[in-house]
Amino acid sequence: MSQALQLKIQDSAEVLWQAYKRSTCAVERRRIQLIALLTDGKSKAEVRAVTRYSDPAYCKAIVRYNAQGLAGLRDLRHDNLGPPQLLGDAQMLLLAQAIRADFAQGVL
């Protein structure tokens, strides 16, 4: 690791490997693997060879772990609900009724 970026070990290697085995998210598993390998004493080059992380992604994972622990390694895309609906429930009902009425008249 570079001098400016040091891993703050917050969990034992055993805890990290258990979290790795429990995780069902490939992104999260790979990030946990990176931290677990470093905790096991592997060098940056060895870890990058195994995980295939680019240098910026490697550094980002360490920064996130240092700041938030295991929770920082989660893939936050799973929590993204997307943009808010453009139509409210009442508007969606009116639209569905209009589409059904048109369909019943043979209008596509």
Check: pTM over 0.85? Answer yes or no: no
Q: Is residue 48 part of a domain?
A: yes
Residue 69 belongs to domain spanning: 13-79
pLDDT at site 44: 93
Please give the tally of structural domains in the chain. 1
Grade residue 108 by pLDDT with cuts at 50, 70 and 90. confident
Q: Is residue 7 part of a domain?
A: no
Amino acid letter, residue 94: L
Burial zone of 88 (CB within 10 Å; 0-12 exposed, 13-18 middle, 19+ buried): exposed
Q: Is residue 94 part of a domain?
A: no
**pLDDT for 1-42, tens place per residue?**
445 689 999 999 999 999 999 999 999 999 999 999 999 999
Mean pLDDT of 49-53: 94
Q: Is residue 6 part of a domain?
A: no
Q: Is residue 28 part of a domain?
A: yes
**pLDDT for 60-89, tens place per residue?**
999 999 999 999 999 999 888 888 889 999
